[in-house]
Structure 1
Amino acid sequence: MSLIVQKFGGTSVGTIERIGQVADKVARFRAEGHDVVVVVSAMSGETNRLLGLAHEILDEPVPRELDALLATGEQVTTALLAMALHKRGLSARSYAGHQVRILTDDAHTKARIREIDDARLHADLAAGRVVVVAGFQGVDEQGNITTLGRGGSDTTAVALAAALKADECQIYTDVDGVYTTDPRVVDGARRLDRITFEEMLEMASMGSKVLQIRAVEFAGKYQVPLRVLHSFQDGPGTLITLEEEHQMETPTIAGIAFNRDEAKLTILGVPDMPGVAHRILGPIGDANIEVDVIVQNVADDNTTDFTFTVGRGDLARAEAILKEIADELGAREVRSDSRIAKVSVVGVGMRSHAGVASQMFAALAGVGINIQMITTSEIKISVIIEEKFLELAVRALHSSFGLDGEPREEGAA
């Protein structure tokens, strides 16, 4: 017998019929002898509906009250699923986050989990019950309901799996696993049977939307085996696990990630002196604008051109701040470009394989794509290119690194 935590997203529980299908799936796992804890999101569209109601009253809703409102979406789903399980002859009990006591900090709308009181859950499991927990939410030290931010139900599931020492955390979604890249862009994209936490974290941060980044971080930190599966199709899905448990001969590249939500800012002719990078990026950081790729070029006239990328939604604010900085520093000009995209190759195999960068650059050059900026980590190389070439770049790299072949098989050597 295994203890399994299963998470179902909004589309998986979007209708009463689908809630019934989820109940059927849970019932099959119980029939096989497994203990099951289920984490559910709000029904698809419900969180947006509640947000809309809030914004009809206030342009900027009070965060504490907004959390209290949004948390009701998941609570509806937990009760309905518990009822569906009862209908199928299973003993089930639903809980809101504060009833389990998923303790968080007090950062409303983006709270972080501090600890979980798992005593009640263990008691229910010992009594043979299926436990259904509302995702996305918790409670702070003062008893205020908090929410974990968009995609927070993934984090709830992983945190519960860690607290309960579950054998596996299964994330059910509308895809049947993690792919080498977006199948909508590359017809030959294939499902990976296995990927490491590190690779998945890089894929998620570079634009892959299969899992919330915080959930992957949590799973890696507490070594929770994580599996991505399709809600209504049978299949092995993709197992996300430790590198040490990976097969001995790891393929160089696991996948190609990309992100269209990129914009570039350049400040030209900045005096080349100590502390100039802080003078530029300090005010950007103070405005809570996240900076991604950074490149600095020094000219012969003791000036430097400083370029960095931000999310497109932050471009207008960042540009306004940068123009003020340019005036203070006596820079020549500020330029912006919102027609860029980031493409990344990701794989732990880079650690032991040379030539990945040159192969990537050759593949892009072969299809006439110019690279504007480059950034690297131990298991990732990212480039900034013109957005109009994004899909061409992804297809070229996917082919160049041989990702159209057979999928990684669990336990293969």
Structure 2
Amino acid sequence: MDIPGLPARRAALNLIDAVLRRGETLDQAGGSALARVKGDADRALARAIAGEVLRWKQDLDALIDSATRLPLADDAKARAVLQIMLAQVLRLETPAHAVIATGLPLLMGGPRRLAHGVFSTLTKREVTLPEVPTLPDAVMERWGVRAEAIAAGLSEPPPLDLALRDAAATAEWAEKLGGVSLMPGHVRLPRGIAVEHLEGFRDGAWWVQDLAASLPARLLGAGEGRRALDLCAAPGGKTMQLAAAGWQVTALDNAKRRLERLRENLQRTGLEADVVQADALAWEPEEKFDAILLDAPCTATGTSRRHPDVLHRIGARQIGEMTEIQSKMLERAAQWLKPGGVLVYAVCSMEPEEGEEQAAEVELTPVPVTASELPEGLAASGEGWLRTDPGMLSEAGGLDGFFIARWANT
């Protein structure tokens, strides 16, 4: 019989291995890694352990190396087990005896004595982690001068952001839910809340959407019955924003399962859109649009607060693959605009190749983002583009990393 809590730790080990060795996302790995874990609480614990290891991996490894005479191989199972043991003690405040009871059995037939010795040495030293995670060298180099500030924003998982169907009711919903608002149509709550049990969920009064992720659709303004195309629309947060703002929306995506979630979200909120399953690189519209929102496929490195796996599995190859797709999509989207139509391009990426370098190639008329369209504390660049990162608005809980630009077909 398994030791209580052991399946969750074994699942965490498998999640980390899937990210570091196979380059999978935590979501992709979850299906098989969590299959034998019973109960929502234990599945959530496995994800939390894996997330904290990936968030603090550089610092956990430094502690492990400080307590071993000969360094453990990077891919040694004992190193991985020590990572999850230390993450529980130092980040999740799990008692040391429980960590030992559920950690050492993962090394059955392996160097249990070594792992026990290293863990005991470190706990006796009362070691701690730094206030800010140390980013991998490659990430530090790519993110440049903002890297340290961004790292500070990764110390904790993000709060819960809600986008409201009716922006005029912002104060009302902030009071009802006990949250704060950083701009009209937004309410922020502490993390860890079960959204299905909150007032307004079943009535479709709001949906979960990071504040930064809500900005691209806001930049298209009021629809007033005009036609908008939401490219790569699923699971539907931006489609719902556009529909709520009065746009007649065509929501296009190639992923059947994600489109099912989009339809469910539309049904819950009572909002309407024409949902199309198609490849944006092959599809052709019957007529042009007044507005197009292209939230393009990307490396998603801007979501590292909630998906710390991106810190370890994204590199030049993945960035190159995404930029090729983004360029093709931007070129096609520009052709589908009516005269006077507006295009907004967005990626939840921290990589300049996916943001600034893509925007520089667009041959439409720039429409700079203005301060009145943004939460207090954010500002557009000199080119009129918007770059957000997890180190911004830190006093209010931070936000995801995005690049956003806007043009008109004049």
**Which of the two has greater helix per residue?**
2
Higher relative strand content: 1
TM-score (norm 1): 0.29
